[in-house]
Amino acid sequence: MSATIRNHGNVNPEAVMFGAGPVTVADVLASPPIASPFHRLDCCLMNEGGAALVITTAERARDLPRHPVRLLGGGMEFFRGNYANPPLYSQVRQLGRQAAARAFAKAGVSARDIDVFSLYDPVSFEVLRQFEMLGLCGEGEGGAFCGEGRLDIGGDCPSNLDGGMLAGSWTGTGQLTLKVIEGVRQLRRVNRRAPSGRCRARADQQCRIGRAAHRADGARKELRVNDFRPAAGVMPTPTLPDITALTRPYWDAAAQRRLLLPRCRVCGRHFFRPEVACTHCFATDWTWTEASGNGSLYSYSILHKAPAPGFVVPLVLAVVELDEGPFVFSNLVRCEPAEIRIGMPLRVQFDEVAPGIHLPRFHPRS
């Protein structure tokens, strides 16, 4: 799937990675590992750019020099931000299904009526998940569904024909607008890579249609990715926590090698991380309580490329289910990668990473 989408970008003159292929499955698997199970070529780009579009009424559009494209329906769905407290897969496995149902209902179509897709592809797995979410295949069947050329221009579900975010462009939230723009271009038939015949496209926060065009000279560019390195003389330091009045008791306890958790006085449940209100019942009456420090490994990923200067790899990122109930995002230490097992019992430890700053990490509990 990653190779297919990257090859679409390879022949799109507007793609960041135009001419940087072709890319094979072997190339993807041979690229440096980033975070298991993803390799570098499974991950999207980071580049600069901008985009804009014009929306108007059907009556006014009749006087415009360009052929208008009719918007049949739309929908939106989101979960909390991923950066500070990442959600569990069980919480987002069907994210987008309700929004897709609303959009399809307004348009009077179903997912099986769509002729061309361009799915949000920050990493390769997300494309598989969205096909499953849309009901075009069962959960766990996305990998097989995307095989056998199905995502190619002549396949049953041509997808990310502009190269998507893997090879086309990623400009932060600007990529949402690019999806609509590419949808308009496809439906206007402004390129020779658009599917033939009448075409329905899905273009919103989850999915978009795209395009690609052949490079005239057929020349090939080599992939070149520069690793970030700090300037000479700069001592790399991992990012330190931003301690606020709300979180100060947590970090003060950590300096004493104690793990604190917020506990709601109304519903009686623990939660993490500290918020103004209980994440279960939204009551604002809660207090700090000391946790046992014991838990089990719920999930993990092994980082093979440092997220910032100062980190040592391989680095095991772990989701730990505490005995008190909450899930915490931390590191797994004092354990070889080959020895890691889901469900293994863990115990917290506190490592001083800066004067007065102790980070809770977890190690196997004997």
Q: Which residue has the tokens 């980071």?
A: 46
Question: Which conformational region is residue 247 in: left (phi greater than 0), alpha (psi within -120 to 50 degrees), or beta?
Answer: alpha
**Residue 39: predicted pLDDT:** 96
**How far is 8 from 26, CA to CA, in rounded Å?**
17
C-alpha dist (Å) from residue 265 to 262, 276, 286:
10, 13, 5
Q: Report how many domains make up the chain.
A: 2
**How far is 104 from 133, CA to CA, in rounded Å?**
14
The residues, ordered by sequence, that sit 6+ positions from 123 with a Cβ below 8 Å of its Cβ are: 38, 42, 43, 44
Residue 241 lies in a domain: no
Same domain, 89 and 13: yes
Same domain, 268 and 155: no
Residue 196 lies in a domain: no
Instruction: At 313, list the tokens.
Output: 């790899």
**Residue 213: predicted pLDDT:** 28
Q: DSSP letters of 288-341?
A: EEE---EEEEEEEEEESS-SSTT--SSEEEEEEEETTS-EEEEEB-SS-GGG--
**How far is 362 from 366, CA to CA, in rounded Å?**
12
Same domain, 176 and 301: no
Same domain, 176 and 252: no
Residue 203 lies in a domain: no
**How far is 3 from 135, CA to CA, in rounded Å?**
24
Residue 295 lies in a domain: yes
Same domain, 146 and 35: yes
- The whole-number mean pLDDT for each consecutive block of 10 residues of the chain, a chain of 366 residues, reads 95 94 95 94 92 90 87 86 73 92 95 89 94 96 94 91 93 86 76 53 42 31 35 52 92 97 97 92 96 96 85 91 95 94 97 91 94
The residues, ordered by sequence, that sit 6+ positions from 112 with a Cβ below 8 Å of its Cβ are: 136
What CATH number is attached to the domain comprising 95?
3.40.47.10
Among 188, 215, 238, where does a domain finish?
Answer: 188
Q: What is the DSSP letter of 239?
A: P
Same domain, 178 and 276: no
- Report the predicted TM-score, pTM, of the whole model to 2 decimal places: 0.77
262 CB neighbour count, 10 Å cutoff: 22
Same domain, 138 and 6: yes
HSE-CB at 169 with a 13 A cutoff on CA atoms is: 24
Residue 72 lies in a domain: yes
The residues, ordered by sequence, that sit 6+ positions from 127 with a Cβ below 8 Å of its Cβ are: 1, 5, 119, 120, 121, 142, 146, 159, 160
Domain with 49 in it: 2-188
C-alpha dist (Å) from residue 279 to 95, 274, 296:
19, 9, 21
Which phi and psi angles does 288 have, rounded to 5°? -85, 140
Residue 277 lies in a domain: yes
Same domain, 279 and 359: yes
Same domain, 153 and 256: no
Residue 281 lies in a domain: yes
Residue 61 lies in a domain: yes
**Residue 290: predicted pLDDT:** 98
Among 140, 169, 188, where does a domain finish?
Answer: 188
Among 188, 219, 238, where does a domain finish?
Answer: 188
Q: What is the DSSP letter of 237?
A: -
Same domain, 11 and 142: yes
**Residue 190: predicted pLDDT:** 56
Same domain, 308 and 172: no
**How far is 100 from 327, CA to CA, in rounded Å?**
29
**How far is 157 from 118, CA to CA, in rounded Å?**
9
Same domain, 23 and 160: yes
**Residue 218: predicted pLDDT:** 36
